[in-house]
Amino acid sequence: MNPRTAAALLIAFWVVPVLVVATTLVLADRFERAAIVDEADPVVSVGSVVDDASSPVTVTLVSGQSRELISPIGGTVTSSSTGHGADIENGAVALQVDRRAVRWFVATSPLVGDVSPGSTGTDVQLVAEHLGVDGSGERYSAALRLAIDARNGEGGWPRDGVFRASSVLFANPTETSVGRFEAPVGSVVSEGGRLGEFTAPVVEARLAPLEGASVDARLSTASTVLTIAESTFPISGTAIAEPGLAPLLAAIQAASLPSTRTSETEVQYREAIWALAEPEEYGVVPSSALIATDDGTPCVVTVDGDATNAVQVEGTTSIGVSGTSVVPASLIGSQVLRVGAQAPAETQATCG
């Protein structure tokens, strides 16, 4: 186990008899505190370490092709809230054409046509979600009629219960801003004509270790999470696509992570942490507690009253903190000899 991947370390070596000298240490990265006792005592209690394999990584956002912004209506642009780089907010007014509001419609698919009393199907559900009407489903309801009329009245459209496809500009959830806008106030636009183009949407996010660093191999196969500032996301593998992109992009934007543009379509962000979703727990002992067989199999010597017993602890690894090593979690709380080599010869002979 790589010591840099431990999320927190609490080592408690209890003296037998109880004789504790506690010292707080500042340890690297996630090894926060250690309680160390009189090293003269021959018996210690197996402490614990929690390991989440956390590794700092870069997140590279990969952009796809930008899409044209198409006018749903023809007429003269009488007002505009949109320009180069403008953010897209669902329901916000993008522009006015002949003094009628055309609003952003952010959804997974565009409207096929108008939604009016008696309509059913996916379009009805999309409009209900857009207007925040609960319980309407795919059927046109009285609550939906009220919401449509309120929206129409605000935007200069007739209060006739019809939600017109020509009153909205469709945007995918990944299309979060306008790259170019080519319809200034006073210009004449045509239905189906070009208004500009969206900023190229992010289509994928890729994780990679920091330059010169490595990532714990367990992260490639286990259930993992990615942490950006205070936000944590479950992920699988090193490539993230929809539907996981939208919350990831929002977190990156909110955290203002340092970034580098590495190509025309890729931007790399730093200061993200990739870790196991379910951290693993291990026991921890002084490295001096270990003894080994002729073939190198390590053991610790447990103590129960006057009896001693050699217990194999395969997979033991030094964690580089005050000369300590990790052992199986099943040994946490057990009493072991601080110096395994001081065990009786007959006990050491049972190792392996």
* Res. 12: pLDDT tops 70: no
Beta strand 168-171 with 55-63 is: unpaired
> Nearest Cα to 77, choosing from 94, 53, 59, 55?
94
Cβ neighbour number for residue 97 with a 10 Å cutoff? 25
Cα–Cα distance measured from residue 247 to residue 226, given in angstroms and rounded to the nearest whole number:
12
Cα–Cα distance measured from residue 321 to residue 137, given in angstroms and rounded to the nearest whole number:
59
Per-residue pLDDT tens over the stretch 185-218? 999 999 999 999 999 888 899 999 988 888 888 8
* Res. 319: pLDDT tops 60: no
Cβ neighbour number for residue 274 with a 10 Å cutoff? 24
Report pLDDT for 324. Answer: 85
Per-residue pLDDT tens over the stretch 234-284? 988 888 887 788 888 888 888 888 999 999 899 999 999 999 999 989 999
Considering the entire predicted model, what is its pTM? 0.57
Report pLDDT for 292. Answer: 87
Burial 32-58 (b: 16+ CB within 10 A, else e): eebbbbeeebebbbbbbbebbbbbebb
Cβ neighbour number for residue 27 with a 10 Å cutoff? 16
* Res. 316: pLDDT tops 50: yes
* Res. 100: pLDDT tops 90: yes
Cα–Cα distance measured from residue 217 to residue 215, given in angstroms and rounded to the nearest whole number:
6
Q: Percentage of the chain with pLDDT > 90?
A: 59
User: H helices within 115-191, ranges in order?
Assistant: 122-131, 142-155
DSSP letter, residue 277: S
Q: How far is CA 318 from the centre of its chain?
A: 30
pLDDT band at 2 (very low <50, low <70, confident <90, very high): very low
In this predicted model, which residue has the larger pLDDT, 318 or 2? Answer: 318
